Structures are given as structure tokens and as C-alpha cells.
Amino acid sequence: MIPIVSVPESIAQSLRSYRAIFSREEGFAWMSRYVTGLLVSPNKTVQGIYDLLVWPDGEAAPSRRAMHASLFESGWSSDALMGHHRQELGVIYRLGGRSVVSLDWTFSHHDRGPKIYGIKKRYEYLEHRQSLYQTLMTGVISNRERVDGVEVVVQAPGFEKEEKAYLKATAKGGYESKEAGRQRVVELFAHMQHKWAYKKRSEIFGELVHQIEQEGHFPSSPYVFENGVLSVEVTQEIEKWGKYWLSELEKSRHIFWDNRDHRIEEVALELRQSHPESFRKVTVKERNGHGKTFWGFTKCVRLKRYGKKRIFIVHEEEGLSDPPRFCVTNALHWGAKRALETWRYRGASETFHEFDKQDAGVEAAQLRNEEAVKKHFRLSCVAQSLLQSIVAQPSTSEKFAFAQGAITSGQRGRTRLRELFRAILAFVKHLVEKGLSNDQVLERLIPA
């Protein structure tokens, strides 16, 4: 637990461009402290971050309530914050070579927060148990050096099945009074309102793509996603903007082959048995720069509802004995090498999810309304990007010789901690010069 005496200069410098989003200096100051706390506090709730803050001499400590109100109840726009964030990233990624936008969704678990906005209680197939969680839709931009979140959206829970069951169980052939009939009509209208307001994942991803492309900050970045995101609505939205997409394809998907529809896994089996020479050896560069060899087959075929697309059947073993991976793209001119190099950027979403859950407090905040949850998630995106923007020097310590001179995320984190400790040392020196005892200094830094 490290007291936060001031916002580190590396973070403060990066946040200065966000000042115009906040109408008051006080709100911007709270945001800066909160983002710092998301990166350094072991307890990433409002209470946990507030408890680490140390206030200068002669300045009365504001209440935790003031922090919560400034961050999550005041009128600053999280949409404007995220729009500015994407604009900043657009400048960075235009100078950083090839970049890819990855679309994905994940679960944010809150087993102790049944009243948090967007919480669902369902069987969680990854954990194999009943769980309370939010469903998050994410957009991530990445190149060989960086991974940045460009949007996080919470899917509101839908209760259509439960409401239908209630309406069916309470249905009557007639109503004895006008008031009873009126109440029934209100229930039916409420059910229809909830049904129309609910958005499927494909709708949310379509809106996310529309927002990114409308702003135009990543003009040359294709989209990549798994088959859980693949849908006609999403692909049509991407193609509407003249962009390319690459998706994983289910093995049960039917393709038009040899004048009739076949499951793609059947086509792969036939090719392995009858025409193994059709799988060409391809060596691609992964995001980390290392080479990896695959054996791939590609061909343009027709998919029902999607039209003419290019498919890829890929093996990682030369003997084609491993289970194949199937991909599809609207880029009809792409070869296996281009497609596989693009697909290797798919893992950037997992990296972002891991960081946001473990280091940026996505699963820690106990917020109960939609706007507050949106603000917290978007500030987490900003915090994750700020860490990557910290200027660090290659470590000369033998302890970090494994990095071989490269600047890693861990070294950027150490640079941030050194700034915090430098501020603490300066603060302690100031208090000692004023004549405070060791116990008094400790009380200022860590109140009992």
C-alpha cells in the first residue's frame, strides 16, 4: 500500500489533454487521482483509492462523498472522454505500422455485488457454477508494441423469458374491474418496452463499429474477431465503411462446395485425405516478432447470408494431424500469410481483458447505475493506455536481465512507482523540516 501524495508527473502530463472535458478544475483533479489509484491501489474501489490520498499542509481533506460525486454524479461526459481517447490513440497508431481492431466480449464477475448495474445471475460455463457477472463488449486496437481499449460497453440484462412466464402464469380470461384491466395493460406495455430496449451482442458490436468508423481515427485497421461475434449485422456494418474483417469460423458452418452445401470440417477432411498437397507451408510473424509456421489452404466460396467470401483452413503440424482452424474474410485478395498475420492480433483482446480485470479494477468497483459504470470502465481504458505511454529507461539491473534491454510493462510500472516514492520522500522531508516527529509523519501518510 503506497500513499498517493500527488499525481505522478508522467500521468499528469498525459492527462492534460483531457482537461477540456471537465468544466471544473476540481473534477479534473479527482479524475487524475482516481486514474492514478486504478494503477497503484491494491483496492481499486472509490473507498480504497480515497484511503491512499494524502493532502498537503493547510488543506482540509475533502470527504469520500465529494470524490464519488465529482467522478460519477457530475455532468462530465464519458462519451466525450472516450472520443478524445480514441483521437489520441489514432495519432499514436498512425505512426506505429500495422494495427488491427479486435472485437470481443468477456464476463466481469461481482459475486458480492447483486445490486451493481448490469448484473446477471446465470450459470457461468467458464467457472462451471452459478455466478453474478456483467457481460462486457470490448473494442481493442493493437500493433506490435501496444494494446489499447477503444470502448467497453455493458450489455444490459434481459428478462424476457422470466417476464413471459409471469404474464402467462397471471393471465385471466376476463377482469372484474376497469382498474384490474388497466393494471394488466400496464404490465404488457412494460414487457414490450423492456423487449424493445434490450440489445443483442450483434447490435452492440454494430453500434461500436459505427462509432469507431464515424470518427475515422483508424482508417487502415481491419477488424478481427471470434465466431461468437460473427454475425451478418456486424459484417455488413464493417463492409459499409469499406473495411476488411477476419473471423474464426465454426467447424459446422456450411459452405458451397462441389455444387452443394458441405460442412467445412467435411471439406477439410476430404482435402487432408485426397489432396494434402493443397496445404501450402506459410511462415508468419506474430505480434512479438517471432516466426511461426503453418500449413494452410484458401479458396473463395459462397456462405449462406454472407455471399462470396474467402475461407482459410489452417494446420499447425506438417503432417496435418492436428485439428484444423477455420477462418473467413471479406478480403478476397488476401493470401494465407496476410490472413494469419492478422489473426495473430486476435489475442490482444485477451491481454486487454486480463489487464483491466487484474490491474485497472474492472471487477472491483461497486457502482449501481449505468452512467457510473460506464465512466469507471472508460477511465480504466485511459489508465491502461497511460501505463503504456510512460517513458521508461531500459533496466540495467541484473534482476531484469531477461528483458534484454527491452522496455517492458513492468519497467513502466516501476517508473511510475519511483515517481510516487519520489513525491513521498519530498513530502516527508518537508514535514521533518517543519519539526514533526516520526510518529506524526507516519500519521500523515497512513492514518491509524
Which tens digits make up the pLDDT trace of 84-128? 999 999 999 988 788 999 999 988 888 777 788 888 887 777 678
| Segments of 244-381 assigned E as strands | 245-248, 254-257, 260-263, 280-285, 291-303, 307-315, 325-329
Do residues 216 and 268 share a domain?
A: no
CA gap 395, 406 in Å, rounded? 8
Count other Cβ atoms within 10 Å, centred on residue 60: 6
Average pLDDT, stretch 22-39?
A: 92
Name the residue with higher pLDDT: 239 or 445: 239
| Shared domain check, 56 and 193 | no
pLDDT at position 109: 84
Residue 94's Cβ-count burial label (10 Å; 0-12, 13-18, 19+) is middle
Does 337 lie in the same domain as 216? no
Residue 408's pLDDT band, with cuts at 50, 70 and 90, is low
Tens-place pLDDT, residues 279-299: 999 999 877 777 889 999 999
Q: Is residue 36 within 8 Å of 382, Cβ to Cβ?
A: no
410 within domain boundaries: yes
Last residue of a domain, one of 334, 368, 402: 368
Question: How many structural domains comprise the chain?
Answer: 3
Q: 207 with 256, same domain?
A: no
Residue 192 sits in the same domain as residue 284: no
Which residue from 446, 422, 251, 244 is spatially nearest to 345, judged by alpha carbons?
Answer: 244
Percentage of residues of the chain with pLDDT beyond 90? 44
> What is the pLDDT at residue 393?
63
**Is the pLDDT reported for residue 143 higher than 60?**
yes
The phi, psi pair for 64, rounded to 5°, reads -60, -30
pLDDT digits (tens, 9 = 90+) for 316-348: 998 899 999 999 999 999 999 999 999 989 988
pLDDT digits (tens, 9 = 90+) for 41-70: 888 888 989 999 988 775 678 888 999 999
Are 92 and 133 part of one and the same domain?
Answer: yes
Given a cut of 60, whether residue 405 has pLDDT beyond it is no
- The verdict on 99 and 47 lying in the same domain is no
Beta-strand pair 223-225/100-109:
parallel
**Amino acid at site 321:** S
- Shared domain check, 320 and 266: yes
pLDDT of residue 392: 62
pLDDT at 389 > cutoff 80? no
Name the β-bridge partners of 303: 307
pLDDT mean across residues, the chain = 87
Domain match, 256 and 328 both: yes
The answer as to whether 376 is a domain residue is no
Residue 241 lies in a domain: no
In sequence order, which ranges of 78-231 are alpha helices (DSSP H)?
78-94, 160-169, 178-197, 201-215
In 305-392, where do the E strands start and end?
A: 307-315, 325-329
The answer to the question of residue 110 being in a domain is yes
Residue 362: per-residue pLDDT = 82
Q: Is residue 380 part of a domain?
A: no
* pLDDT of 312: 96
Is-contact 198 160, C-beta < 8 A?
A: yes
pLDDT grade for 391, boundaries at 50, 70 and 90: low
Q: What is the pLDDT of residue 125?
A: 73
- Residue 385 belongs to some domain of the structure: no
- Domain for residue 100, yes or no? yes
- Residues of the domain holding 95: 83-223+349-368
* Grid coordinates given for 367: 457502482
Evaluate whether residue 228 is within a structural domain: no
The whole-angstrom separation of Cα 307 and Cα 38 is: 46
pLDDT at 239 over 90: yes
Buried b (16+ CB within 10 A) or exposed e, 271-291: bbeeeeeebeebebeebeeee
- Region 25-51: mean pLDDT is 90
Cβ count near 3 (within 10 Å): 18
User: What's the mean pLDDT in 255-278?
Assistant: 91
Structural domain ending residue among the three candidates 308, 334, 368: 368
Q: Are residues 357 and 334 in the same domain?
A: no
Q: How far apart are the first and last CA of the chain?
A: 14
The reply to whether 270 and 192 lie within a common domain is no
> Is the per-residue pLDDT at 407 higher than 90?
no
Closest alpha carbon to 409 in 384, 431, 429, 428: 384
Of 308, 333, 368, which closes a domain?
368
Do residue 355 and residue 338 come from a single domain?
Answer: no
pLDDT at 223 over 80: yes
